[in-house]
Amino acid sequence: MKKSLIALAGLAALSAAPAFAQSSVTLFGVVDATLAFGRGNVANRTALTNSGYNSSRLGFRGTEDLGGGMSASFWLEAGLTNDDGTGAASNANNQAVGAFNPATGANAAVRPGTQGLTFNRRSTVSLAGGWGELRLGRDYNPQFWNLTVFDPFGTNGVGTTQVLNSNSALTGAINVRSSNSIGYFLPGNLGGFYGQVQYYLGENSSNVGVTDKDGRGAGARFGYANGPVNVALAFASTDYAAGDVRTWNIGGQWDFGVAKLMGEYSRDRVSSPVAVTGRGGVIGGLIPVGAGEIRLAFSTYKIDTGILGAAQPKTNKWALGYVHNLSKRTALYATYARLRNSGGNTQALNGATAGANSTSSGYDFGIRHSF
């Protein structure tokens, strides 16, 4: 009898205790292999690369239900170069890595990929509820989302919008992602309205002089998606002693059922002693065909150097592609793109080399599997 009473007391205590929160962890990823051909008037290149359709990655994410509509989560996502088995590099402070200093060992040279696996794509911890989500860590910039969402090629492969290919020289280390960021996302029950704001740190000491604010910045994106329409506006500002970077862009998409029409416009400005401004955009569409999809786009980007009478580098690009879905997880794809340079520009596709004011073409053939 005594043992029975003790057992009943234990069960009563357990039933009175708060239940453990529900939690789950998911392993996910993409492996995308691409046979890429690049043609230029100086040199051609053929290579087995990756991420011609979707970016190759390996990730872990998990969520814990805290009760009362609250949850905590983490997201660790690493970029992979599966053609050679290496990992993609990250950036610790939103600043360009300086030259190697042999006296102090600072900025030691590292061959790309040899740094091991880094969670360069996303590395965040979040707290969410009915009020929205607070997210801390390395994450996409708000201003990048419009580039990739409203690009028919999703900023991957030889068809990638020329805006992303050309503005990297202006926007630098914060072109796609920011480290050391604090972000807030609106809740998803606002009748189609969505948005986020982000603040990121360069983490410099206050006694380093004029570069103490380098890599510090903020951005925001607000949009509306409901039914066939999706439109968003984004802007950002990042501090650098060599010239602050200011950018804004707007993008939109309309789903007609038989096709999706989309477009995006960007303006980037670096306030160096002579301000440099870049402007460009993309227009294109996605056309479903049976188990596949046709992708097509025209994109352009022009840089105003701010110097009277100086050449203004410009590149126009056409791209056409087709994706055939073998299943929900596996797809075959092919893409062709051709660009034309002017104003002294020398851009080329898929690792080819082109002279000033010349043309370049590129082909992607690949297979993508997700899990």
Domains of the chain: 24-94+112-370 (2.40.160.10)
- What number of residues does the chain have? 371
Question: How high is the pLDDT of residue 98?
Answer: 66
Cβ atoms of 78 and 51 closer than 8 Å: no
- Does residue 307 have a pLDDT over 90? no
The arithmetic mean of pLDDT across residues 166-171, rounded, is 86
Q: What value does the mean pLDDT of the chain take? A: 91
- Does residue 123 have a pLDDT over 60? yes
Q: Is 211 helix (H, G, I), strand (E, B) or coil?
A: helix
- Does residue 192 have a pLDDT over 70? yes
Residues in CB range of 177: below 8 A, 6 or more apart: 91, 120, 121, 122, 138, 139, 140, 141, 144
- Does residue 359 have a pLDDT over 80? yes
Q: Is 292 helix (H, G, I), strand (E, B) or coil?
A: strand
Which spans in 133-202 are helix H? 142-149, 162-171
- Does residue 33 have a pLDDT over 50? yes
Retrieve residue 169's tokens. 């020289």
- Does residue 7 have a pLDDT over 90? no
Q: What percent of the chain has pLDDT over 70?
A: 89
- Does residue 172 have a pLDDT over 90? no
The arithmetic mean of pLDDT across residues 126-154, rounded, is 97
Of 30-44, 48-62, 89-103, 185-199, which gets the smallest average pLDDT? Answer: 89-103
Residues in CB range of 9: below 8 A, 6 or more apart: none
Cβ atoms of 281 and 263 closer than 8 Å: yes
Burial class (CB in 10 A: 0-12, 13-18, 19+), 73: middle
Residues in CB range of 371: below 8 A, 6 or more apart: 27, 28, 29, 30, 31, 329
Say what the pTM is.
Answer: 0.88
- Does residue 74 have a pLDDT over 90? yes
Parallel, antiparallel, or unpaired for β 132-140 and 193-200?
A: unpaired
Of 32-36, 70-74, 166-170, 333-337, which gets the smallest average pLDDT? Answer: 166-170
- Does residue 272 have a pLDDT over 70? yes
